[in-house]
Amino acid sequence: MGYDKTRDLGLLLIRVMLAVVFIYHGQGKLFGGLDGFAGYLASMNVPAPKVAAFLAALSEVGGGLILLSGLFFRFTLPFVVFTMLVASFKAHAGKFSLQDGGMEYALTLAVITAALVLTGPGRLTLGRFLPSGLQRLSGEEV
Closest CA to 70 of 17, 12, 109, 142: 12
pLDDT value at residue 46? 93
| Residue 137 in this model has a pLDDT that exceeds 60 | no
Is the pTM higher than 0.75?
A: yes
Structural domain boundaries of the chain?
Answer: 5-137
For residue 103, which phi and psi values (nearest 5 degrees)? -85, 0
67 CB burial (10 A radius; 0-12, 13-18, 19+)? buried
Q: d(Cα 122, Cα 140) in Å, to the nearest integer?
A: 8
pLDDT digits (tens, 9 = 90+) for 29-75: 999 989 999 999 999 999 999 999 999 999 999 999 999 999 888 89
